[in-house]
Amino acid sequence: MKRPPDHEHLDGQMVKMEVNLDDISGEWLGHVMDLLFESGANDVFYTPIFMKKNRPGVLLQLLCSQQVISKIKKILFAETTTLGIRYYPLTVHRLERSFLHIDTQWGKVTIKRGFHEGQPIQQAPEYEDCRKIAVQNNIPLKRVYEEVWKCLGEVEEK
């Protein structure tokens, strides 16, 4: 098997940022997530938490490179209810990646594959490709994924 061009490596220039939020609506959180991704966040996720006086809240966490910290901080202070941001240096172990294109009865779907020490250990269809096919063909997303896995199995048997 040909080695993918994106080699496995450790990225020591990453930062994990987090804020505790209360008094913020779900719609705002969705907007903030979009802005964070557009500004260079690699990952954004929310966790329900309980804060002082047992108030329900949300822990917003994200991963980004050190180069975009100031843009991310501006968004968090301007668009959320936070009064402070915690951030920590972080190392991320990134697998090698390659992309395989599978032909389904409805069109092409990209499969992202992850390699550890040169061996394939992860693979998954790209959600957006599958979603687009499901919408265009008025079929359940689940059915698209089933077809992709079937086609992938056939390709791997060859």
- Which pLDDT band holds residue 1 (cuts at 50, 70, 90)? very low
CA distance 37 to 16: 14
SS3 78: helix
CATH number belonging to domain 96-157: 3.10.20
**Residues 116, 119, 122, 128: is their CA dihedral positive or negative?**
positive
Taking each continuous run of H as one helix and of E as one strand, the counts in the chain are: 4, 7
CA distance 40 to 36: 6
State percent of the chain over pLDDT 70: 95
The answer to whether 127 and 109 have CB atoms below 8 angstroms apart is no
Q: What token pair was written down for 4? A: 């993918």
30 sits in which H/E element:
helix 26-38
The model carries a pTM of 0.74
Q: What is the pLDDT of residues 82-127, one digit of tens each?
A: 999 999 999 888 889 999 999 999 999 999 999 998 888 999 999 9
The domain spans of the chain are: 11-92, 96-157
SS3 40: coil
Q: What is the pLDDT of residues 23-71, one digit of tens each?
A: 899 899 999 999 999 999 999 999 999 999 999 999 999 999 999 999 9
Superfamily per CATH, domain 11-92: Transcriptional regulatory protein pf0864 domain like (3.30.70.1380)
- Quote the distance between the C-alpha of residue 95 and its chain's center: 14
